Amino acid sequence: MIMDIDSNAPASTTGGGAGSEQHYGKAPRRQTATGRVTPYDPVRDKAAALENDEGTVFDTPANAFKVGGNSDVREIATIIVTACQAPGDLPTLLTIGQQSINQAVKGMAVAATELRQFGELTFQPAFRHTNRTKPLIAFYLARQRGGARIDNGEVVELTATATQKITALAGAIAGKVRELKRTHLVAIGPDAVTNAVLAIGNARLYLENDKMDIKITPEFVKLEKNKQQMSAIRFNIVPERI
């Protein structure tokens, strides 16, 4: 079932009538038997899919809700926190567009702050379109308690901007993760946040041949820019072996 928390935008479906399948966006990710969410649906090239002029459409992930550009950040956070305090799988956040992605990330950052005493809230972005620069993303959430880190403790900070090349930033992220550095990615504004998320998704693909993956914990930070204090999102990138 898709739950829509943007009152100005109805949930998108294809098909109709009894027994029809709901679809939303492109190429949702699917979890493996080990619980890991892969960057694309692993059977996307074999699946019986619908075709349109934008690309291939696949089934909507279970337990998903749509985040719109006008969705309330506090409401998103409340849904996440409530789900984390209950048994069962956490919801998947479905987004389309820069503002939608920005609201989802801010909602996750608020929820992560509230849940910090119980452990880390992490996400992995999933491409929902075969074009990996399109802002159609599913955010898969997970609870994570402490645990042994595989990074070497050295901290490096990267910056996402509204105009940079996504693949170049993705390569930089993947390079730091391969070096087992504790990588932080900072972004200010919806366009930069979206580029950060798309770069993280591409970095995950770059790391697959290295048998590595990453999970992300977002948080709010204050930065000084042009002698002014500005709010930013910091993506704390956690490497893991696969």
The answer to whether the beta carbons of residues 29 and 138 sit under 8 Å apart is yes
DSSP 5: -
Rounded distance, CA 95 to CA 79, Å?
A: 15
* Whole-number Å distance between alpha carbons of 167 and 14: 31
Which pLDDT value is given to residue 153?
Answer: 79
Q: What was the pLDDT predicted at 73?
A: 97
For residue range 199-216, list pLDDT tens digits in order. 999 999 999 989 999 999
Residue 119 is predicted with a pLDDT of: 82
CA dist., res. 174 & res. 199, Å (int): 10
Q: Residue 21: what pLDDT?
A: 32
CB atoms within 10 A of CB 40: 20
Given a cut of 50, the residues of the chain with pLDDT beneath it are 7-30, 33-34, 41-53, 57
Does the model's pTM come out above 0.95? Answer: no
**What would the pLDDT profile of 2-11 be if each residue is shown by its tens digit?**
566 664 443 4
Give strand ranges (E) for 38-114: 50-52, 55-57, 64-67, 92-96
